[in-house]
């Protein structure tokens, strides 16, 4: 890891932590979201079988959607509470709910109960996700935050590289229920490690939870052009990415007959995304946040157009290696856009970082999950619906980002906080 903040020590007067450990810890906290989703993808076939679903049923995609909806609806509450009581108490409350949801999922007697348990699991996952973004904004801003978030995302993306393979092994060994139990063990281990995390919310920045203060914080978020525009652009990209995650197992199994190789394929695509995330940290420093997003969005439109044309011309079944190559190019753009858009949306929100990250997360995850569900429902036995969705939502994101970019000129960006040495 190479950042200009590498030698910084973040401290709250009682405990301190170096930036390398901080970023790694935050990545592991955020990775609970990816682990809860990706580790179960190889188990979809067994879940279909146990609950009497057809082999090509898309009903199991609801396990991803319900988790993400739980992740979305709870973030505003967690965000407001974290701006009042601090980051750490909310982190631990959320992790307790996360563990409870994972245990309930492992014990679910039917698909309906499993969907409810996944929703609860998602509620718990919201706290570490929101805490990660809030701690980063408490500690860094601007390009420095984008670089730090890129490293968090690079480590975070390692989870989809290994999680499906671990899930496949665990599913064969202890079944899909035992696989969910594995996530409990990981969550408890990361929770113990996070005891070393300093409290990054300064006393003078704590909000009172009076209605006027809550409305003032919310109004600041929803009336800041830069925050609104990049949040909605992020939502569009997240929506099609959710569909890719939820439908990838079915696509590679049904369209290409490669169900057994799915963990390797999914992991390989995740490696490409991880490389792009690492490159993003250097590119942000060299090119600048706004310019980099503009260039990458233009590239995204080119690559997604190529993928859509390829899919349409081949009747939804393009040659495997052409499809995977085009898909790798498009999804790698997500690694360059999602952390940067999240950073850009957070730049003007230093005083209400918890509330802002919660609202941004709620909108992007909730609406993105619904968009992903609509794309999943359009599945027709080929890759065309997904491919065309990459293009359509990419165009929408491009337009929203262009509108939001005026914020870089009109919003006064705060200097980066100086953590304790």
Tens of each residue's pLDDT in the chain, 421 residues? 444 444 566 666 677 788 788 888 988 998 888 899 888 888 888 898 888 887 777 788 788 888 988 988 888 888 888 888 889 999 999 999 999 999 999 999 989 999 999 999 999 999 998 888 788 878 877 667 777 777 777 777 677 678 888 888 999 999 999 999 999 999 999 999 999 998 888 877 787 767 776 777 778 888 889 999 999 999 999 999 988 988 888 899 889 998 888 888 988 898 888 888 888 878 887 888 889 999 999 999 999 999 999 999 999 999 999 999 999 999 999 988 988 898 888 888 766 767 777 788 888 888 888 898 889 888 888 999 999 999 999 999 999 999 998 766 655 444 334 333 3
What is the model's pLDDT at position 414?
44
d(CA 270, CA 335): 10
For residue 11, list its beta bridge partners. Answer: 16
d(CA 82, CA 100): 21
What is the model's pLDDT at position 119?
96
Q: Residue 274 CB: number of other CB atoms within 10 A?
A: 21
User: Could you write out the three-class secondary structure of the chain?
Assistant: CCCCCCCCEEECCCCEEEHHHHHHHHHHHHHHHHHHHHCCHHHHHHHHHHCCCCCCCCHHHHHHHHHHHHHHHCHHHHHHHHHHHCHHHHHHHHHHHHHHHHHHHHHCCCHHHHHHHHHHHHHHHHHHHHHHHHHHHHHCCHHHHHHHHHHHHHHHHHHHHHHHHHHHHHHHHHHHHHHHHHHHHHHHHHHHHHHHCCCCCCHHHCCCCCHHHHHHHHHHHHHCHHHHHHHHHHHHHHHHHHHHHHHHHHHHHHHCCCCCCHHHHHHHHHHHHHHHHHHHHHHHHHHCHHHHHHHHHHHHHHHHHHHHHHHHHCCCCCCHHHHHHHHHHHHHHHHHHHHHHHHHHHHHHHHHHHHHHHHHHHHHHHHHHHHHHHHHHCCCCCCHHHHHHHHHHHHHHHHHHHHHCCHHHHCCCCCCCCCCC
List b or e across 117-128, with b for residues whose CB sees 16 or more CB atoms inside 10 angstroms. Answer: bbbbbbbbbbbb
d(CA 315, CA 328): 20
d(CA 372, CA 361): 16
Contact 37, 245 (CB under 8 A): yes
What is the model's pLDDT at position 289?
85
What is the model's pLDDT at position 61?
79
For residue 16, list its beta bridge partners. Answer: 11
d(CA 99, CA 181): 9
d(CA 321, CA 345): 36
Using a 10 angstrom Cβ sphere, with 0-12 exposed, 13-18 middle and 19 or more buried, the burial of residue 211 is: exposed
Cα-based distances in Å from 87 to 126, 192, 206, 333: 12, 15, 10, 31
CATH number of 18-194+214-409: 1.20.1250.20
Q: Residue 254: CB partners within 8 Å, gap ≥ 6? A: 56, 381
- φ, ψ dihedrals at 17, nearest 5°: -155, 140
What is the model's pLDDT at position 350?
67
What is the model's pLDDT at position 113?
94
Q: Residue 55: CB partners within 8 Å, gap ≥ 6? A: 45, 48
Q: How far is CA 406 from the centre of its chain?
A: 26
Contact 126, 71 (CB under 8 A): yes
d(CA 31, CA 376): 24
Domain limits, the chain:
18-194+214-409
Q: Is the pTM of this model over 0.85?
A: no
In tens, the pLDDT along 270-279 reads 888 888 888 8
Q: Which two tokens stand for residue 318?
A: 């393009």
């Amino acid at each position: 890891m190479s950042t200009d903040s590498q030698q910084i020590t973040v401290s709250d007067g009682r405990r301190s932590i170096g930036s390398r450990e901080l970023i790694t810890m935050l990545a592991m906290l955020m990775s609970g979201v990816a682990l809860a989703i990706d580790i179960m993808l190889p188990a979809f076939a067994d879940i279909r079988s146990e609950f009497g679903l057809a082999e090509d049923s898309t009903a199991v995609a609801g396990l991803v959607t319900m988790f993400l909806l739980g992740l979305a609806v709870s973030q505003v509450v967690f965000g407001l509470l974290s701006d009042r009581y601090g980051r750490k108490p909310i982190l631990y409350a959320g992790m307790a709910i996360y563990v409870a949801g994972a245990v309930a999922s492992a014990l679910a007697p039917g698909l309906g109960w499993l969907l409810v348990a996944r929703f609860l699991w998602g509620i718990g996952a919201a706290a570490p996700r929101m805490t990660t973004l809030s701690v980063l904004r408490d500690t860094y801003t601007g390009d420095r935050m984008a670089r730090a978030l890129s490293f968090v995302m690079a480590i975070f993306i390692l989870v989809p590289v290994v999680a499906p393979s671990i899930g496949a092994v665990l599913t064969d060994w202890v079944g899909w229920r035992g696989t969910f139990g594995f996530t409990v063990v990981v969550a408890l281990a990361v929770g113990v490690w996070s005891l070393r995390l300093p409290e990054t919310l300064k006393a003078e920045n704590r909000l009172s939870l009076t209605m006027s203060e809550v409305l003032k914080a919310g109004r600041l978020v929803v009336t800041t052009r830069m925050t609104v525009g990049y949040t909605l652009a992020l939502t569009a990209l997240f929506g099609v990415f959710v569909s890719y995650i939820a439908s990838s197992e079915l696509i590679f199994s049904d369209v290409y007959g490669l169900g057994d190789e799915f963990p390797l394929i999914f992991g390989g695509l995740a490696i490409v995304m991880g490389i792009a995330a690492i490159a993003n940290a250097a590119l942000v420093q060299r090119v600048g946040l706004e310019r980099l997003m503009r260039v990458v969005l233009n590239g995204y439109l080119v690559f997604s157009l190529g993928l859509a044309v390829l899919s349409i011309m081949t009747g939804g079944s393009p040659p495997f290696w052409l499809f995977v190559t085009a898909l790798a190019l498009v999804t790698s753009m997500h690694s360059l856009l999602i952390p940067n858009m999240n950073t850009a949306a957070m730049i003007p929100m230093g005083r209400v970082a918890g509330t802002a990250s919660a609202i941004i997360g709620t909108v992007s995850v909730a609406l993105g999950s619904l968009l992903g569900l609509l794309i999943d429902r359009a599945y027709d036995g080929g890759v065309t619906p997904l491919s065309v969705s990459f293009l359509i939502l990419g165009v929408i994101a491009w337009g929203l980002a262009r509108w939001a970019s005026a914020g870089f000129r009109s919003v006064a960006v705060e200097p980066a906080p100086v953590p304790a040495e």
